[in-house]
Structure 1
Amino acid sequence: MIVGAGSAGLVCAWKLSEDPGHEVVLVDAGIDPGPDVPLELATEILLPAHYYWQYTDEDTGNFLPRGKVFGGSSAVNAAAATRGHPWCFDAWDSPVWTYDACLPAFRALEADQQFGQQDHHGSDGPIAITRYEQSAFDLAFQDAYRRQGFHPLADHNAPGALGYGPFPTNRIDGVRMSTLVSVLPHLRGRSNVVLRPDSEVLRVLISGGTAHGVVLADADGQHILEADRVILSAGTFGTPEILFHSGIGAADDLRSAGLPVLADAPQLGRNLSDHVLFQMNMEVTDPSELPMPGGQGTLLTYELPGDRHPQAQIFAYHAPFFDPTAGPHTAAVTASLVTPESRGHLALGPGRARVHLQHLTAPLDRSRAADIVRTAAHIVDDLAAQGRLKLPDTPWWRAEDLPHACRAQALSYHHPVGTCRMGRDDAAVVDEHLQVRGVERLMVADASVMPAIPRGHTNLSAMMIGYRAADFAAG
């Protein structure tokens, strides 16, 4: 049984069910929209509320969109498709999860339209990836990057690639190639796959230290479904919630909540990491030269001074893509710290877990964020001097205390990871093969297992984890 039909869960089900000897039940609280995916789920970024779990950051009140539909967050995201660098995965401190160990799964998943024949890419997988021809505005941004000393590159997913070039995206001809669109069709009609939409898993059934099914709720009430193995792929927020209510977590917290203690896991819900971004809105003076939508224009990546490859991203997009209140000629120039030191956590609640992202709580993050925003401001000033941009009267990014201003402006990039940390140490929530410590036949396969956040968008990495989890479960 796989709980969660998102980026990792659908891929895991697809890979496992290729073997007709495996019977797979795929359960999700969201809807299965059917073979004819609604146009809004295929193309739009601003979707009706029923497609999302209703999470907010407890400290800021900001909405944290997580997909509540088959396809999960891959069905509601901007479809940016970068992986990260070899040192992202090598830093997970496991011979099972080095970049070289993960690369075959990345290659098997993708059909890269420009570089599929290269050794570090794939050409035959279900997830199509391309790069768009750039708009006049994005080409002007590239010229500004060059004047600031940065270098062009063709492929952001080449190992170690840094510089500016088109975003890789899994949006083809305007259609988001989510796992809903690209992977779920392979499962329909397989006699060894059962799809259970509209079914929220409340807890895992555990007896004698072994998982043997779940309790779920649907329109007809609560039910027990038995299984030989349970794989949780409910996401960085959802998977810890299920584990908490199954009696797994910090023993004192569980007792305080009136829950049984079946496995003491003090680190469950800790180690929450998320890319943080800063948005600088301004007007484009020529309405015929607007930036491209999010995840399709030009992306700049570069390293900051310091150990362990600290890294930044800068990009621009047409602001109404994400913000319906933005004017039609508004560009959002966005700076991001993709190697945050700050860590948040989930707090056990009566229903939904309470999310505390804790962006920029580490002083080093505030300093690095200010450096990145200053660099973005130099690029903006370059284009404003050319008459391409009109800045607001009092830009927040010119604040005297810029680190403080950055903390006030910090937003989620919506890439949360790490709450079920994988590792070789006894404190890790899951081991190197994604088995929950202290419970047999219970695995986690989603972004929550990442010990550290990659320097790329986390969707492809979550798919890679689902693909590899299928091998671990089958073995």
Structure 2
Amino acid sequence: MPGSEPVADVIVVGGGSGGCVVAARLSENPDRTVVLVEAGPDGARSGPIGTLPVGPGSPLVWRYPGELQPGRGVTVARGRTLGGSGAVNGGYFVRGTAADFESWPASWSYAEVLPYFRRLETDPFGDRRWHGDSGPIPITRTAAAAQHPISAAFLDAAAAAGFGYRADLNEPDAAGAGPVPLNAASGARVSTAAAYLGPAAGRPNLRVRTGVVARRVVVDGGRAVGVEVGVGPRSRVLRARTVVLCAGAVGTPHLLMHSGIGPAQQLSALGMPVVVDRPGVGQGFEDHPEVTVGCRLVQPSPHEPTRAILEVVLEADGIELRPYTAPFGDVISGLDDPVGRIGVALMRPESRGEVVLQSADPAVPPLVRYHYLRSAEDRAAMRSGLELARDLLASPGYARLVVPIPAVPAATGTFENLGTSMHLSGSCRMGAADDAAAVVDDRCRVLGVDGLSVADTSVMPALTSRGPHATAVMIAERVADFLDA
């Protein structure tokens, strides 16, 4: 094939939370050649956990146009660097609960995934049945004596309201209020680029190429044989026996559709060839909608870069309350937002979204439609969560620290300060071959194309009721095992 490089055994597309894991694990076999391609730079493997390099002009994020509700736009920012979003986020590393995996295929039960959760971490805290002692990612929690006054007041208010304290939110049935497990050490986040790729950097069988944009998977005779990539205006094909997509829950469906794998009607409407008609590509994704309650600090103090923006949370009846330790404007460069906030997130929403192509040109980003709070049940749950957040803010301990900002009534469903948790998952979800909505099987192989797998949050058949980062790393560990079998 003209412009091809020598054959590699595996090409991993996307050096984010999943791709770094897959590339590092597969290259443990010295007889296997692995090439990892990442569009962004190698610039954020670790950094202060209280600084989020995702603001306007940051070169470390992709920006996608989004729509929270009809007519309500948003910019979706996802990591565009080695380590992906896990290299630029707040370090929240909470596992899905055992109940979350009951709606996944039986081969992904909690009993099946627990060994991988333990494998990926070093967490000296808590019951040893649930935790690993020698994994790549260090897990820490903010000790009570070191917590921000906002965090301490929140825990006191939650206890006074009757919610139990949970010291370890990574136990299989964890609920209540407690410290957030963080993928961090000494005040710095530890991404999978630092934890997995760093120790593997000297392997002669592993090549990591940054600044390389994947444009499509090349499919020949029903098999993935390589990836067309671009470096600036030039393009070439990197050939491989196996291709693993780890481009994220927006990037992976976008790449599949530009490879001719997706909803035939949508592809044909843009004049694109259809290689495999998989109607589920980009369809039916889930995310956690968040509405924030604003407040002003009575005695503002400078934000410490080594302090997590979220040290504690409350998990209660499908709602997660998030008392942020600083205004977002203090942690995101270039963002004008001086308001303190408690986030109220729906962790089991009914709303489903879609990733939609806007052009046959792969350089044009897709549109991300969330369809948030469409159901009466979601709106009622959000109102209940907001009422709880305001009650906690009014508690004596909290009231000494903050002054709540009155909100616009939400009875009509127009929620002020509606946003997204950036937990998009399930845009290429796993399922049976005869399920039109499924894109991959339960070993994360793309249905209808040999030699092509996916290892990121897009494969999740149901969104976990906690943030998906820890689960994303677990998925990548399992997929690497599947490919090694």
TM over 0.5: yes
Residue 424 of structure 1: how far off its partner (Å): 2.1
8 A contact 2:150–2:325 mirrored in 1: no
Structure 2, unaligned stretches of length 5 or more? 1-10
Pick one of 66, 69, 87 that aligns with 1:57. 66
Q: Which amino acid in the other structure matches residue 89 of structure 1?
A: F
Residues 1:452 and 2:452 are matched in the alignment: no
Pick one of 279, 299, 304 that aligns with 2:313. 299
Aligned counterpart, 1:45: 52
8 A contact 2:45–2:82 mirrored in 1: no
CA pair 391-290 structure 1, distance change in 2 beyond 3 A: farther
Aligned counterpart, 1:97: 108
Residues 1:233 and 2:246 are matched in the alignment: yes
Residue 261 of structure 1: how far off its partner (Å): 1.0
Aligned counterpart, 1:313: 321
CA pair 219-325 structure 1, distance change in 2 beyond 3 A: closer
Aligned counterpart, 1:466: 476
Aligned counterpart, 1:377: 390
Aligned counterpart, 1:402: 411
Cα distance in 1 for residues equivalent to 2:402 and 2:342 = 11
CA pair 84-385 structure 1, distance change in 2 beyond 3 A: closer
8 A contact 1:236–1:420 mirrored in 2: yes
Cα distance in 1 for residues equivalent to 2:412 and 2:466 = 24
Cα distance in 1 for residues equivalent to 2:176 and 2:83 = 31
Pick one of 108, 124, 128 that aligns with 2:134. 124
Cα distance in 2 for residues equivalent to 1:143 and 1:295 = 18
Residue 433 of structure 1: how far off its partner (Å): 0.7
Residues 1:210 and 2:223 are matched in the alignment: yes
CA pair 158-385 structure 1, distance change in 2 beyond 3 A: closer
Residue 293 of structure 1: how far off its partner (Å): 5.2
Map 1:357-396 to 2 at 5 A. 357-383=370-396, 386-392=399-405, 394-396=406-408
Give CA deviations for 1:346-400 in whole Å, capped at 9, x if unaligned: 11122211110111112211111111111111111224884332123x333xx2x
Q: Which amino acid in the other structure matches residue 295 of structure 2?
A: M
Give CA deviations for 1:157-186 in whole Å, capped at 9, x if unaligned: 011111111111112222111112222212
Residues 1:342 and 2:356 are matched in the alignment: no
Root mean square deviation of aligned Cα: 2.1
Aligned counterpart, 2:3: none
TM-score computed with the length of structure 2 as normaliser: 0.89
8 A contact 1:28–1:69 mirrored in 2: yes
Residue 91 of structure 1: how far off its partner (Å): 1.2
Q: Which amino acid in the other structure matches residue 312 of structure 1?
A: E
8 A contact 1:163–1:302 mirrored in 2: yes
SS in 1 for 2:325: strand
SS in 1 for 2:475: helix
Higher strand share: 2
Q: Which amino acid in the other structure matches residue 436 of structure 1?
A: V
Pick one of 12, 18, 24 that aligns with 1:8. 18
Cα distance in 1 for residues equivalent to 2:179 and 2:399 = 23
Structure 1, unaligned stretches of length 5 or more? 304-309
Q: Which amino acid in the other structure matches residue 32 of structure 2?
A: H
TM-score computed with the length of structure 1 as normaliser: 0.91
Aligned counterpart, 1:175: 188
8 A contact 1:271–1:345 mirrored in 2: yes
Residue 332 of structure 1: how far off its partner (Å): 1.1
8 A contact 2:37–2:209 mirrored in 1: yes
Pick one of 47, 67, 73 that aligns with 2:79. 67
Q: Which amino acid in the other structure matches residue 385 of structure 2?
A: I
CA pair 299-322 structure 1, distance change in 2 beyond 3 A: farther
Aligned counterpart, 2:96: 84
8 A contact 1:167–1:295 mirrored in 2: no
SS in 2 for 1:402: coil
Q: Which amino acid in the other structure matches residue 301 of structure 1?
A: E
CA pair 187-43 structure 1, distance change in 2 beyond 3 A: farther
SS in 2 for 1:49: coil
Aligned counterpart, 1:307: none
8 A contact 2:261–2:274 mirrored in 1: yes
Aligned counterpart, 1:422: 430
Give CA deviations for 1:34-63 in whole Å, capped at 9, x if unaligned: xxx687587630344211111121353322
SS in 2 for 1:467: helix
Residue 192 of structure 1: how far off its partner (Å): 1.1
8 A contact 1:214–1:225 mirrored in 2: yes
Q: Which amino acid in the other structure matches residue 349 of structure 1?
A: Q
Give CA deviations for 1:298-322 in whole Å, capped at 9, x if unaligned: 211111xxxxxx3433433211335
Cα distance in 1 for residues equivalent to 2:110 and 2:388 = 30
CA pair 46-289 structure 1, distance change in 2 beyond 3 A: closer
Residues 1:281 and 2:294 are matched in the alignment: yes
Q: Which amino acid in the other structure matches residue 279 of structure 1?
A: T
Cα distance in 2 for residues equivalent to 1:315 and 1:136 = 11
Residue 234 of structure 1: how far off its partner (Å): 0.3
8 A contact 2:285–2:354 mirrored in 1: yes
Pick one of 412, 428, 443 that aligns with 2:453. 443
CA pair 211-168 structure 1, distance change in 2 beyond 3 A: same
Cα distance in 2 for residues equivalent to 1:290 and 1:10 = 31
SS in 1 for 2:214: strand
Aligned counterpart, 1:158: 171
CA pair 469-30 structure 1, distance change in 2 beyond 3 A: same
Residue 451 of structure 1: how far off its partner (Å): 1.0
Give CA deviations for 1:167-209 in whole Å, capped at 9, x if unaligned: 1111222211111222221221111101111111100110111
8 A contact 1:42–1:181 mirrored in 2: no
Give the number of aligned pairs: 457
Residues 1:223 and 2:236 are matched in the alignment: yes
